[in-house]
Structure 1
């Protein structure tokens, strides 16, 4: 539900990276399940999902806030991490994996305010994190103004591990 529950939310999924090892089996099924979502894909995605349109370089950096999803087939975790380092939002990143070591590496290497393993990106929300109502969001790491002590030089980074949870 990271895309379709509320596509205009800042924590909605905008880009889906799919490991080449599962792409042939996964992408057609995903496209069928998300029939109401416009798909913009890399060349390999378009070959596997005929209704997908070619993604532009700008698409990878776009927050669509609509039923539009970018899809790229990647050759493993290294390629996924490279894509995220270049195009990530610094807001929310998630991985779905059965490999605990890959999940741990993803958490260590991805730069985002909330990094999720096996849970929906829709959990990056003030209420969901127990913080109450949000006044806004920030992907900046320095928020202090005026004199600063150690506490002002620190930022919080959230990590959530799940077992396939989605937000309802």
Structure 2
């Protein structure tokens, strides 16, 4: 009887020691502070298609600072973007699926014609975008930069592969229309 109690006590002590060893990782996890922004939530991996040209938003490479252009559809992961919801559900960031870099404006410029690039996520408003519903068909919208207030469009309203994507004053033109494609 005493051997059974001793074995049970040893088992309980070992189980307690294992729980104690595993629990510091949980116990030391910092709680979020009320002043910190809510974490970003990934919604979906999509392609972004230009309303006028029918071509897709694409990074030219996976390098930091890579230009963003329009390209014909392909299976390239440089054309895939992960939609990340920010700011209480009204603003988006788009992270390139291959490079893990965000769609933004070169040097965080607020000038018309500044090029779209992919860059290391920084939390700057030049990497945050609002979808503005315009007259681009039932699924189309403008993509408006939160920092500059300008819309993403294709330079010169070009329909050519490789045409630079940049920001311009929002004017409702077809080259500023975009359709999210799953």
The interval holding the TM-score normalised by the smaller chain is under 0.3
Q: Which structure has the greater CA radius of gyration?
A: 2
Length-normalised TM-score, structure 2: 0.26
